[in-house]
Structure 1
Amino acid sequence: MLSCDTIQLNVGGTLYTTTKKTLSRESNTFFTNQLFSNFLRMSDGSFFIDRNGQIFSYILDYLRCGKLIVPRNFHAFESLYEEAKFYGLGELKKQIEILERRSTIPRQPTKSESSDSPCSSARKPGFLTLGYRGTFAFGRDGQTDVKFRKLYRILVCGKASLCREVFGDTLNESRDPSDREGCERYTSRLYLKHQCLEKACDTLAEKGFKLLGTCCNGANGLMTSFLPNIQSSSSTPELMNQRNGGDFEEQRWAHYTELIFYREPLHCNFQKPNVECCHASLQNLNWK
């Protein structure tokens, strides 16, 4: 049987057992300002709190030892900050801010960017767009058994400083030098040094970006413009050979796709974009 100093909490469906002394470690918080008699009492005797049960484990660990402890690959800083704000833990909010900034290693500023530039501050919200032109590799004769995906180049569009922060050394800036117009400019002339789409998406996810939407022209986009030239300049046997060739098949299946990502602010009064409007705008695009 639990002692009078021991208390059971049901936070979002997850049960925790702790003491009143632990919960009241800091003054003027949710636990010290609220009377437990006002909480919803469950049938098992626990007090119900309608908050994130998984995140509460970090809240409770902080109250026990006085410092924030999270796993190395922890990325839910925004949710943790909101929970700390709800429970009125001011010192914990400061520790979250410090730890979140350390988890995102900023790039070294260029000569044109001073250390107090707004580009070198903590992470900011923003949009990034990945664009790529792809097809399938058919081989020289177009008769290979397995048709592998073939990407020519992954383009990166957005604010230049944000592109560098996210992709770092994997970003090729040869077409857009970093000393042009300052760090707050936008560019569509950057691309990645690798051609692995999944690696680029993993990098964006690790940096806190979420996919908002995509737009793409369907396969066979170059078929109509490529076929008349063949018909007008080739005999029937030559036409059949070219139609069965790998170059023709790769042109036939060529397509262009853009993936639009957005990263929300960590904690500020910033208006979130209307995702539904973004999706509607993408659906209304007429790719030709």
Structure 2
Amino acid sequence: MYKVVIIDDEPIIVEGISRMVPWDKFGCQIVATANDGIEGAEVIREQQPHILFSDIAMPGLDGLSMVAGLKSEFPNTEISILTGYRDFDYAQKAIRLGVTRYLLKPSNMDEIIEAIKAMVSNLAAKHIDSDSPEELTGEELKTDNTASSFIVNNAIRYIEQNYAHKLTLSEVAEKTYISQWHLSKLLNRHMGQNFSEILNHIRIKEAQKLLKDPALRIGDIAEMVGFIDMAHFSRVFKKILGTSANEYRNKITSKNKSE
């Protein structure tokens, strides 16, 4: 039996799909439902469903990021979107990320049944059952790469916006809707660096900009870019740029004077 999860912040929709679809007829069973994105992410990670029906316009949820996270971490999961969000470009992006059907609310039962048939057919074509190992076809690898790139770009953007506070891999993973382990793997694969290295490079890049202002003390700059320990900042700065922060500032000052 294929495992099905339904996520929507409208209980009537969750109940309607759960009760009105003859799931047994399609070799499926509902293993869990959820009414918000956070609970839904937990349910998906716990159940690892074969089929997912989900809204992508729920409070506190970045729908495309959720889809990308799911397709990257669980590439064999078939996803159909239920949404009132009528944006063609958004729908195209969702499909490129691996969504099987993009259904506009209110969806009729014929559309939902057609989506179920398509997802079950896709699973059968891949010879996926509850015990199957996840082996990706060429097309799925392409989709997985698109989803993974989407996640990495979102992760880097989030780090660039939040480097100044005590940022953890766990926080970034939560914002990109995937596990810490999977995010770590994607960063290494796409960037050739681990999370700490990426964070440090972003912080030092910002420090370089701030060092151009002679009114700012180096200790204050270290704190402004997220380093609590001045000694740690000094070590990282020298490791990345091959010179101390003070020497770097002196070079900038000398260059400006000569100009």
Note whether the superposition's TM-score is higher than 0.5.
Answer: no
Higher helix proportion (structure 1 or 2): 2
Structure 1 or 2, whichever has the larger Rg, is 1
- Name which structure has the greater RCO, CA cutoff 8 Å, separation 6+: 1
Higher strand proportion (structure 1 or 2): 1
Q: Normalised by the size of structure 1, how large is the TM-score? A: 0.26
Q: Normalised by the size of structure 2, how large is the TM-score? A: 0.28
